[in-house]
Amino acid sequence: MGMRAGFFTPTEAGAIAVVYCVLVGFFIYKELKIRYFLEIIRETVYGTSSVMFIIIGATVFGQYLNWERIPYLIGEFLVNFTDNKYLFLILVNLILLFVGMFIEGGAAMIILAPLLVPTALQLGIDPVHFGIIIIVNIMLGGLTPPFGSMMFLTCSIVKVEVKDFIRESIPFMIALLAILMLVTFVPGLVLFLPKLI
């Protein structure tokens, strides 16, 4: 309720939910004891630190790519390579899937979106459509081996081996690739709702 009313951000809402749960656990249900609480804190620090190391590594890698001007070179290559919007979208899909395997999603969007969006607009691609293509690509790349950050994050949270995750995720990857192709080549699927406004 507080997020919808604008009282706090999602991060602050999470902190408030934690405080609420601790108070309810200690004083209402009286099941939360200090020894359990310390174990909960330890597990939280362990889980958060593993996630943060993944994000730090991806951010450093993204900064290195930016320093070497790789995103700029990719954008320049795409502009000079084609003026066909469908070929451009195929190339963008391939690039974003590849980048999503190595760089954390937020960092990848911050680095690549400013370079790709102007070209997409020049080719007459709707910005909402292109934004959804970027998000689906980054999400799919983050789940893909060898270095997908979401893959490692999921494996650390559910305590499963990466090889088991990869084997079990293949049908979902195929479905997500089919969805990506539909989103890419049938813009009406993602634009019908914004066009109603």
Q: How far apart are CA 182 and CA 177, in angstroms?
A: 9
Q: At what angle do helices 149-158 and 162-185 cross, to 10 degrees?
A: 130
At residue 185 the predicted structure's pLDDT band, cuts being 50, 70 and 90, is very high
pLDDT of residue 19: 92
Long-range own/partner contacts, residues 79-83 (CB < 8 A, 24 or more apart): 79/119, 79/122, 83/123
| pLDDT tens-digit series, residues 22-31 | 999 999 998 8
More confident residue, 109 or 136: 136
More confident residue, 76 or 29: 29
R_g of the chain computed on alpha carbons: 21
Q: How far apart are CA 174 and CA 120, in angstroms?
A: 26
At residue 116 the predicted structure's pLDDT band, cuts being 50, 70 and 90, is confident
Residue 95 has pLDDT above 70, yes or no: yes
Share of the chain above pLDDT 70, in %: 99
Residue 1 has pLDDT above 70, yes or no: no
Q: How far apart are CA 32 and CA 19, in angstroms?
A: 13
Residue 7 has pLDDT above 90, yes or no: no
Lowest mean pLDDT among 62-66, 94-98, 162-166: 62-66
Average pLDDT along the chain: 85
pTM metric for this prediction: 0.68
pLDDT of residue 24: 93
Lowest mean pLDDT among 35-44, 108-117, 123-132: 108-117
